[in-house]
Structure 1
């Protein structure tokens, strides 16, 4: 009798773990897909800007949402995108609470970044859902204006200038780490390699490396502008995603560098779709 009771309890516990794992995996894959949509749209908008188009929209999250809203069934797509990003935030929350995959997944060096990602994607999900609920009110302003406003508010507090500079240095370092890890193909460690055919392995490698390097370059450049804002004590020096991308066109390579980075962001969007299919969660 006791054995049957114990077996029943064990079976229910196993079923509960499987259900929890399934919910976590569904949230992760929905979130990665939603992230891919945003990067894909931002990259396409940046490509249009590089070649003289763009329709006046900005190459950032607000521009991507406006682009999506203009499509057939745009409202439905926006709600689906927002819900997917909620899934991403919940997945990162589960990693912060219970650890990530890998031998050192329960260590603080893995769980703290997961907590930061949870907060970030929670904010992004909120902004997308708010836009879906009321597209006429916009998505909270452009990333450029938001960056300037936040920088100005931080600079008003004690040691605010140093805080902005430290944040900028942190973003630069994060961008370099993202690019280096992409170039080293570190993402392979998190893939279901046994399910990858030769063509899919090549797809993941190309999109992961090119997309990750481009994403890292954008992060590092945005961080450098924040550092410059702190050094000059001028909040207007800070740049959001749109102005950061446009700054690549001001280099000696002109719009071709912007086009290259934009193409990389498109590839990162595709890479996110690949992760939604083959990443271990």
Structure 2
């Protein structure tokens, strides 16, 4: 057991070793998904793809083509479930000592919401592993948006959601360049050269992820302003939006998502997040 693990074990509310293992599986699963998603987008830019949409579900589906694909899909589903469990553990047990004031409660709600984001993908991967096929949930966001638009003041709620998503995107970029996570990387047990490489990969990855989230937030703003659910889009539509700016733009963001995936894979082996 390392010194950091010993320290974490001594922290009240620290998650059990089983929860920590689930979290690491989650990081690995998310890393694989982002690497595949970025590679699919890069293949589209270079003309090597088969016209697939470079979204998370397509990335997961491509695992079926690999040897023991169903086993890999099962591991991805398990990993994503582990990530969800870990996020809810953070929220409920307060493993990072955020407290019960307004800011702390907000942060803990964010942890739970972050886990729920991957619930649909976990279910999709599990259904693929068990049944060999699964229905994509691409229209879910449009259906939900249409429902909210039917409520009194629904347009404002959708625009508020767009502002929140854009705010999260800005935070991703702030995190990339504020240096806040550099001290966590430096405590990962990697050599100095490896720490620098991981830190730069995290910077590029968080920036690319922030760009994609900002576009998704823009889609929500547009949907609210126009009271049109069809204006909402997912990651694949965000890539189309970037592609319209030129293949180089899409290529840079796609490479950034690959970097983010690699950063998550490093986290699976060398946890650099507090509370783990």
Rate the CA distance shift 1:141–1:122 in 2: closer, same or farther, 3 A. Answer: closer
- Mapping 1:101-250, distance limit 5 Å: 101=96, 104=98, 107-138=104-135, 140-142=136-138, 145-191=139-185, 193=187, 195-250=189-244
The list of structure 1 runs, each at least 4 consecutive aligned residues, that deviate by more than 3 angstroms after superposition, is 17-20, 103-107, 189-192
Structure 1 CA distance for aligned equivalents of residues 110 and 91 of structure 2? 8
Partner SS state of residue 264, structure 2: helix
> Given the two structures, how large is their TM-score scaled by the length of structure 1?
0.85
Q: Separation in 2 of the partners of 1:235 and 1:68?
A: 31
Deviation at 1:20, TM superposition (A): 5.6
**TM-score (structure 2 length as normaliser):** 0.87
Cα distance in 1 for residues equivalent to 2:15 and 2:147: 41
Secondary structure of 2:66's aligned partner: coil
- Residue in structure 1 matched with residue 248 of structure 2 by the alignment: 256
Give the drift of 1:194: 5.7
Indicate whether 1:88 and 2:80 are aligned: no
CA contact (8 A) 1:185 1:208 kept: no
Which residue of 57, 65, 68 corresponds with 2:63? 68
Look up the SS of the partner of 1:54 in the other structure. Answer: coil
Give the conservation status (yes or no) of the 8 Å contact 1:100–1:110: no
Whole-angstrom distance in 1 between the partners of 2:48 and 2:223: 29
The count of aligned residue pairs is: 261
Higher helix share: 1
- Aligned twin of 1:278: 270
Which has the greater radius of gyration? 1
Q: Answer yes or no: is 1:49 the counterpart of 2:41.
A: no
Alignment partners' CA distance in 1, 2:65 and 2:27: 23
Q: Could you tell me which runs of 5 or more consecutive residues in structure 1 were left unpaired when the two chains were aligned.
A: 1-13
